[in-house]
Each structure stands twice: as C-alpha cells, then as structure tokens.
C-alpha cells in the first residue's frame, strides 16, 4: 500500500554522491522554527546567515547565467523604451488634445 512507502525506500536514498545540502542536524530534537524567539527564530542572525548562504549557492553566476542575461538585456530595453514612449504619448495627448481624447486613447489601447 501507499502507507508502506518511506523516503528511505527511494532508489537513491543511500547514494553516497547525493548531497544533503539543505538538511542541518545540530543535535536538537525540536526542529520547529519560532518566529521571534530562540536559536531557530526566523529572524535570528543564524537563520539570516543560512538564508544568505543558500541564496548565494542557488544564484551562482556561471556561463548559462551569462547567456540568459545576454538574452534578457535586449528584451528589457525594448520593454523599458515601450513604456517610456507610452508615457510620452499619454502626456502629449492629454496636453494637446484634452481629457476626452486621452480617455479614448486609453480605452482603445486596453482592447
């Protein structure tokens, strides 16, 4: 049955190459984190340091990240220029054509 399956039964449960990076065993029986008090508080220096080290481990900059960044820069610049041109268009329409024309422009852009 399904209740008989445990994590230890997995094919890679005893794999020596498997790294248990996110499991910390500091000898404490109680592993519940409290919000404000104690060593395991979510806002303690130790917890914040662990979060920072985990973030650095996850966000290491490698060749693939460099390729993704190179791909994302043109799209980001295109969206920023599009937003700037839309803001300039709205400013010009409201300044020279009036509020009713601006309302018509905004409604037609929403559709």
pLDDT at residue 87, as a whole number? 93
C-alpha–C-alpha distance, residues 23 and 68, integer Å:
30
Match 């399956």 to its residue by tokens: 5
For the chain, give the number of residues.
111
pLDDT at residue 78, as a whole number? 95
pLDDT at residue 63, as a whole number? 84
Distances (CA, A) of 99 to 85, 92, 106, 107: 19, 11, 10, 12
Task: Name the pTM for this structure.
Answer: 0.44
pLDDT at residue 94, as a whole number? 93
Q: What is the DSSP letter of 8?
A: G
pLDDT at residue 41, as a whole number? 73
pLDDT in tens, the chain (111 residues): 566 777 666 766 666 655 555 555 555 544 565 666 666 677 777 778 887 888 777 677 788 888 888 999 999 999 999 999 999 999 999 999 999 999 999 999 888
């Amino acid at each position: 049955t399904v209740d008989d399956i445990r994590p230890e039964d997995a094919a890679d449960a005893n794999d020596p190459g498997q790294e248990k990076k996110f499991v910390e065993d500091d000898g404490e029986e109680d592993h519940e984190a409290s919000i404000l008090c104690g060593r395991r508080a979510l806002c303690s220096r130790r917890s914040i340091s662990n979060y920072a080290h985990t973030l650095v481990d996850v966000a290491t900059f490698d060749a693939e990240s460099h390729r993704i960044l190179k791909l994302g820069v043109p799209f980001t610049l295109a969206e920023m220029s599009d937003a700037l041109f839309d803001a300039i268009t709205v400013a010009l329409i409201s300044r020279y054509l009036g509020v009713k024309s601006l309302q018509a422009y905004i409604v037609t852009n929403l559709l």
